[in-house]
């Protein structure tokens, strides 16, 4: 046995002591070996003079009042154990989850970057390229934010884990704790030999690029690059127009399903149905009409097959968009059975519709329904606003994600019901008469003014609601407001109070 082996065995035998106590004993015997050399003794001579490491440790532990046969768990501080238990219940239960789930969720969402390439579908080359550069720079910043949050999450989790190990094992498992401490996203970057300057320059350039592109998009006037898809206007002498005229009678069905089509619907004094289609690029607009079966179906598949074929490679900043517009004129004396229209990214405007069913769908543009009368209606939108004004209906269903919903001057038939489901868009109701109204939202605010109904049900998570009527004598049969953190301000009495 040499000095190194002797000291290692002694340190192992003293494992019941804390780190500082062990170091004090080991340092003492290191000095003994150093002095022995000055006295002309060898390491083996001193080891033969000393007791065995186990005997030395036994005597030392007795001096500290520790039985060498004790298990180390008897040295656990009960106060620390109780502290860990309460910390786990009150803090770790949610902090560890947040530290892991949030960075991973953000990391997964980062892969949505692939959809950035679709900007070339809706804009000419230069405006699309500008958007692509700006959004790409934003995703670079987003990437480093995710890395930072992942590193922070790892630090929180590893500190909590090592704290538990320290409380229950003391200074044992030192190598394991060191390995846990070394878990780091930043260490991975160091192993990749990426210079810090490169990272800082990349972040700085991305911030500047994002800021500059945002300034251009939001503050440069009279440029097509600042007009959002779905609200675009066209100034071109190349716009072509086709007109289709059909016989039509009551109970007709008119349907249209489009990806990019600005649609307007109105009534006319003519006795014919007129469909006017305007466009500035080759398309596959088709009408399927049957007078005996009473239907007219319109659709266009041209941009859904391969949108790369329709990119406008015009580098000028005021270049025109690819445009299709559809104008539907229906005789005023005709009552339709159904009108079903959808357009992904262009607005839909319905005026003076009379019929049984109305179904309007959009994704990113406005839906407007004005001065119409129908029995059953629905309007679905993702980010575009929904405006309904001067409508008489029995059942109306409105679904929106982030677009605002505005209903004005709505009269309903007996036993009528209006259902509005929104996520973050605001809901505004003005001059509305119905039997029941149900509004569900997560963070959007609800504003009700002169809404006279028998039953009102408002459910929200964090959105606020205001409800006021000019007629203070009006009394609701049933009023329900259910929210987690939203506030409800109202002056409308109900029979439940």
| Domain membership of residue 430 as a residue range | 385-497
What pLDDT was estimated at residue 234? Answer: 36
Judge if 479 and 420 occupy the same domain. yes
Work out how many domains the chain is built from and give that number. Answer: 4
Taking only Cα atoms into account, the Rg of the chain, rounded to an integer number of angstroms, comes to: 37
Judge if 211 and 117 occupy the same domain. yes
Judge if 124 and 11 occupy the same domain. no
Residues facing 255 on adjacent strands: 297, 340
What pLDDT was estimated at residue 67? Answer: 60
Judge if 62 and 88 occupy the same domain. no
C-alpha–C-alpha distance, residues 171 and 190, integer Å? 29
pLDDT in tens, the chain (497 residues): 788 888 888 888 887 777 778 888 888 888 888 888 888 888 888 888 888 888 888 888 877 766 655 444 445 677 778 888 898 899 888 999 999 999 999 999 898 888 888 777 666 677 778 888 999 999 999 999 999 999 999 999 998 988 888 888 766 666 677 678 778 888 777 777 878 888 889 999 999 999 988 888 776 544 443 333 333 333 333 678 999 999 999 999 999 999 888 999 999 999 999 999 998 877 889 999 999 999 999 988 765 444 444 444 443 333 345 678 999 999 999 999 999 999 988 899 999 999 999 999 998 889 999 999 999 999 999 888 999 999 999 999 999 998 899 999 988 767 789 999 999 889 999 999 999 999 999 998 999 999 999 999 999 999 899 999 999 889 888 999 999 988 999 888 877 65
Judge if 13 and 143 occupy the same domain. no
What pLDDT was estimated at residue 304? Answer: 42
Please give the structure tokens belonging to residue 258. 């489009």
Judge if 88 and 68 occupy the same domain. no
What pLDDT was estimated at residue 226? Answer: 36
Domain contains 102? yes
Judge if 168 and 202 occupy the same domain. yes
Judge if 49 and 116 occupy the same domain. no
What are the φ/ψ torsions at residue 485 (nearest 5 degrees)?
Answer: -130, -5
What pLDDT was estimated at residue 313? Answer: 42
What pLDDT was estimated at residue 230? Answer: 37
Judge if 201 and 236 occupy the same domain. no
Q: Give the helix/strand (H/E) hosting 263.
A: strand 262-268
Domain contains 365? no
Domain's final residue, options 187, 206, 225: 225
Please give the structure tokens belonging to residue 328. 């539907």
Domain contains 493? yes
Domain contains 353? no
Strand duo 273-279 + 324-331: pairing: antiparallel
Judge if 248 and 290 occupy the same domain. yes
- Inter-CA distances, 224 with 94, 318, 319, 392, Å: 48, 5, 7, 38
| Nearest residue to 485 (alpha-carbon basis) of 448, 456, 466, 459 | 459
What pLDDT was estimated at residue 122? Answer: 61
Judge if 140 and 242 occupy the same domain. no
Are 124 and 313 contacting, i.e. CB atoms less than 8 angstroms apart? yes
């Amino acid at each position: 046995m040499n000095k190194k082996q002797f000291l290692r065995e002694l340190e192992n035998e003293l494992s019941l002591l804390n780190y500082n106590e062990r170091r004090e004993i080991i340092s003492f015997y290191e000095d003994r070996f150093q002095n022995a050399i000055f006295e002309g003794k060898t390491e083996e001579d001193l080891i033969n003079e000393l007791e065995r490491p186990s005997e030395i440790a036994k005597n030392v532990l007795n001096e500290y009042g520790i039985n060498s046969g004790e298990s180390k768990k008897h040295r656990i501080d009960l106060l620390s154990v109780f502290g860990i238990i309460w910390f786990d219940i009150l803090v770790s239960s949610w902090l560890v989850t947040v530290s892991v789930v949030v960075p991973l969720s953000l990391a997964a969402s980062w892969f949505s970057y692939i959809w950035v390439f679709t900007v070339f579908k809706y804009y000419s080359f230069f405006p699309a390229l500008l958007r692509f550069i700006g959004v790409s720079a934003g995703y670079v910043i987003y990437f480093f934010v995710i890395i930072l949050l992942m590193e922070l999450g790892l630090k929180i989790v590893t500190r909590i884990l090592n704290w538990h190990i320290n409380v229950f094992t003391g200074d044992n498992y030192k190598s394991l704790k060191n390995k846990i401490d070394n878990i780091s996203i930043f260490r991975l970057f160091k192993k990749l030999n990426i210079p810090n300057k490169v990272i800082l320059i990349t972040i700085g350039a991305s911030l500047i690029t994002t800021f500059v592109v945002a300034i251009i998009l939001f503050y440069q006037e009279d440029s097509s690059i600042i007009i959002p898809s779905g609200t675009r206007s066209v100034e071109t002498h190349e716009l072509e127009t086709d007109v289709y005229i059909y016989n039509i009678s009551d109970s007709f069905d008119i349907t249209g399903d489009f990806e990019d089509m600005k649609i307007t619907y109105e009534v006319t004094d003519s006795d014919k149905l007129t469909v006017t289609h305007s466009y500035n690029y080759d398309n596959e607009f088709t009408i399927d009409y049957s007078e005996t079966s009473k239907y007219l179906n319109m659709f266009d598949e041209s941009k859904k097959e391969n949108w790369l074929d329709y990119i406008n490679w015009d580098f000028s900043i005021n270049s025109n968009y690819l445009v299709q517009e559809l104008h539907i004129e229906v005789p005023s004396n005709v009552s339709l059975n159904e009108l079903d229209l959808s357009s992904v990214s262009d607005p839909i405007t319905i005026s003076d519709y009379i019929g049984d069913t109305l179904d309007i769908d959009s994704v990113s543009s406005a839906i407007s329904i004005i001065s119409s009368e129908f029995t059953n209606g629905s309007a679905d939108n993702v980010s575009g606003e929904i405006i309904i004004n001067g409508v008489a209906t029995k059942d109306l269903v409105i679904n929106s994600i982030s677009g605002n919903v505005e209903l004005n001057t709505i009269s309903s038939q007996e036993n009528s019901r209006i259902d509005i489901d929104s996520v973050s868009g605001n809901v505004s109701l003005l001059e509305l008469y119905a039997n029941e109204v149900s509004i569900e939202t997560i963070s959007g605010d609800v504003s009700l003014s002169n809404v006279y109904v028998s039953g009102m049900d408002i459910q929200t998570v964090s959105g606020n609601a205001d409800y006021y009527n000019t007629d203070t004598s009006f009394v609701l049969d049933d009023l329900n407001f259910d929210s987690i953190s939203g506030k409800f301000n109202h002056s409308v009495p109900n029979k439940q109070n």
